[in-house]
Amino acid sequence: MTMSLSLPLVKMQKLHKSYGPIQVLKGIDIEMKPGERVVVIGPSGGGKSTLLRVMMGLEKIDSGSISFEGNSYISSEAADRKTLIDTEVRRSIGMVFQHYTLFPHLNVLQNLVLAPCKVRGEPKAKAEARAEALLDRFGLGAKAKAYPAQLSGGQKQRVAIARALMLDPKLMLFDEVTSALDPELVSEVEHVILQLAAQNMPMMIVTHDMWFAKNIASRVIFCAGGVVVEDGPPEQVLGAPREERTKEFIDRVFHIKQ
Ligand SMILES: Nc1ncnc2c1ncn2[C@@H]1O[C@H](COP(=O)(O)OP(=O)(O)O)[C@@H](O)[C@H]1O
Ligand SMILES: [Mg+2]
């Protein structure tokens, strides 16, 4: 028992990833403890989305490895993608993207129950009951029968989060989930993520919203040029950065906001 408590939830070692001649990840080492909420900030094109996609097994890596609760589930050694992803682990991680990814021909409830029924063979009635409870919790109880096209951007993202939670993930990844939203819809989505944080859901969040970053992070990582430039508590990285590159970035982002 004590052993598993001290194990890192995620351990990334020496991750390298290129797209053709472009080196995107140049040796990333990140260890995440259970219960941590890591906010990743950094300039556009710095490899933040690639990092999250690699963790989900959506992109192949060139070298390095990632383990989850002590099990290596992604490595560059395996020859093809099928063997390099442990699907059990992969299902323990939920991800929500910047752009809406709901199935347009399915209503909200059908979107939520699809994976649990198909992947886990969960009885439909049971999955629907869980889905309805989640929708209620996220203020979407009245939208169960609505189709994605009938929802606002904020509602769609809340449904996407609920859908990811249906597989009981042990880790949630959020990649700029409010970036495509009208400003007045941002807080309803952030509120749902803050609700999950209050329940100690481990998460890794890429965001440009510094208010949100400050409020949700237990730790902030500044990533630029494919490496971790600075990694520490939010008071340090956002409030009093030690690295010049972090300082420049924070000054710029806060300046734009004002
Ligand atoms: N599928 C891809 N094919 C080729 N280049 C890509 C692909 N995805 C991302 N890139 C490039 O990799 C770099 C990092 O991108 P990304 O991880 O999206 O950065 P961020 O999320 O920090 O903005 C960028 O230069 C981007 O153009
Ligand atoms: Mg990105």
What is the model's pLDDT at position 7? Answer: 85
Q: Is residue 160 included in any domain, yes or no? A: no
Q: Which atom of ligand 1 is nearest to the CA of 46?
A: 22
The span from the CA of 63 to the CA of 76, in Å, is: 5
Atom 6 in ligand 1: residue holding the nearest Cα: 19
What is the model's pLDDT at position 144? Answer: 98
Q: Which atom of ligand 1 is nearest to the CA of 47?
A: 17
16 bridge partner residues: 26, 63
Q: Is residue 127 included in any domain, yes or no? A: no
DSSP string, 159-204: HHHHHHHTT--SEEEEESTTTTS-GGGHHHHHHHHHHHHHTT--EE
- Between the CA of residue 165 and those of 48, 204, 250, what are the distances in Å? 22, 15, 32
Q: Which ligand is nearest to the CA of 176?
A: 2
What is the model's pLDDT at position 255? Answer: 67
Q: Is residue 189 included in any domain, yes or no? A: yes
The answer to which of 35-49, 86-100, 200-214 has the lowest mean pLDDT is 86-100
Pocket around ligand 1 at a 6 A CB cut-off: 19, 22, 24, 42, 44-50
What is the model's pLDDT at position 32? Answer: 97
The domain containing residue 207 runs over which residues?
17-105+168-257
What is the model's pLDDT at position 85? Answer: 59
What is the model's pLDDT at position 86? Answer: 64
Give the distance (Å) from ligand 1 centre to CA of residue 236: 28
Q: Is residue 145 included in any domain, yes or no? A: no
| Mean pLDDT, rounded, for 232-246 | 96
Render pLDDT for 98-153 as a digit per residue (tens, 0 to 9).
988 899 999 999 999 999 999 889 999 999 999 999 999 999 999 999 999 999 99
Render pLDDT for 59-110 as a digit per residue (tens, 0 to 9).
889 999 999 998 888 887 755 554 455 677 888 999 999 988 899 999 999 9
231 bridge partner residues: 221
Main-chain phi, psi angles of 9, to 5 degrees: -70, -50
71 bridge partner residues: 68
Instruction: With a cut of 60, say whether residue 35 has pLDDT above it.
Output: yes
Instruction: With a cut of 50, say whether residue 55 has pLDDT above it.
Output: yes
Cβ within 8 Å of residue 238, ≥6 positions away? 210, 213, 214, 217, 220, 250
Q: Is residue 151 included in any domain, yes or no? A: no
Q: Is residue 63 included in any domain, yes or no? A: yes
* CATH number reported for the structural domain that contains residue 93 in this entry: 3.40.50.300
Render pLDDT for 186-201 as a digit per residue (tens, 0 to 9).
999 999 999 999 999 9
Give the distance (Å) from ligand 2 centre to CA of residue 47: 7
SS3 233: coil
Q: Is residue 36 included in any domain, yes or no? A: yes
Q: Are 95 and 167 in contact (CB under 8 A)?
A: no
Which of the four pLDDT bands, split at 50, 70 and 90, describes residue 237?
A: very high
Number of domains in the chain: 1
Name residues with Cβ closer than 5 Å to ligand 2, which is an ion. Answer: 48-49
Instruction: With a cut of 60, say whether residue 256 has pLDDT above it.
Output: no
Mean per-residue pLDDT of the chain: 91
| Mean pLDDT, rounded, for 217-238 | 96
| Mean pLDDT, rounded, for 16-45 | 96
What is the model's pLDDT at position 258? Answer: 45
Q: Is residue 243 included in any domain, yes or no? A: yes
Which of the four pLDDT bands, split at 50, 70 and 90, describes residue 15?
A: very high
Give the distance (Å) from ligand 2 centre to CA of residue 98: 8
Model-level pTM? 0.93
User: Would you give the DSSP letter of residue 238?
Assistant: I
Which of the four pLDDT bands, split at 50, 70 and 90, describes residue 1?
A: very low
Q: Which ligand is nearest to the CA of 21?
A: 1
Give the distance (Å) from ligand 2 centre to CA of residue 45: 7
Helices (H), the chain: 2-6, 48-55, 81-84, 87-90, 108-120, 124-137, 153-165, 186-198, 210-216, 234, 244-257
Atom 7 in ligand 1: residue holding the nearest Cα: 19
Which of the four pLDDT bands, split at 50, 70 and 90, describes residue 163?
A: very high
